[in-house]
Amino acid sequence: MPQMAPIGWLSLFIIFSMTFILFNMMNYYSILPSSPKSSEKSFFRINSMNWKW
């Protein structure tokens, strides 16, 4: 029945969209970045940017 074809395309689109969103969420949350510790911040020094012309 060709009249039922849009329902098939809609279900394929919904399944593909849900799979795509699930795959992206799994990739996004699979790696937890390490948070910077306060002891690492002490190594940075602020250099004075006063130019001597």
pLDDT digits (tens, 9 = 90+) for 37-50: 655 455 556 666 77
Asked whether residue 45 is domain-assigned, the answer is: no
Asked whether residue 48 is domain-assigned, the answer is: no
Could you say which DSSP state residue 7 is in? H
What is the number of helices (H) and of strands (E) in the chain? Answer: 2, 0
Closest CA to 17 of 6, 25, 28: 25
- The distance from CA 3 to its chain's CA centroid, rounded to whole angstroms, is 40
Give the model's pLDDT for residue 9.
Answer: 87
pLDDT digits (tens, 9 = 90+) for 1-14: 566 677 788 899 99
Q: How many domains does the chain divide into?
A: 1
Asked whether residue 21 is domain-assigned, the answer is: yes
Full domain range(s) for residue 19: 1-29
Asked whether residue 20 is domain-assigned, the answer is: yes
Asked whether residue 8 is domain-assigned, the answer is: yes
Q: What is the mean pLDDT of residues 24-46?
A: 73
Asked whether residue 41 is domain-assigned, the answer is: no
CA gap 10, 21 in Å, rounded: 16
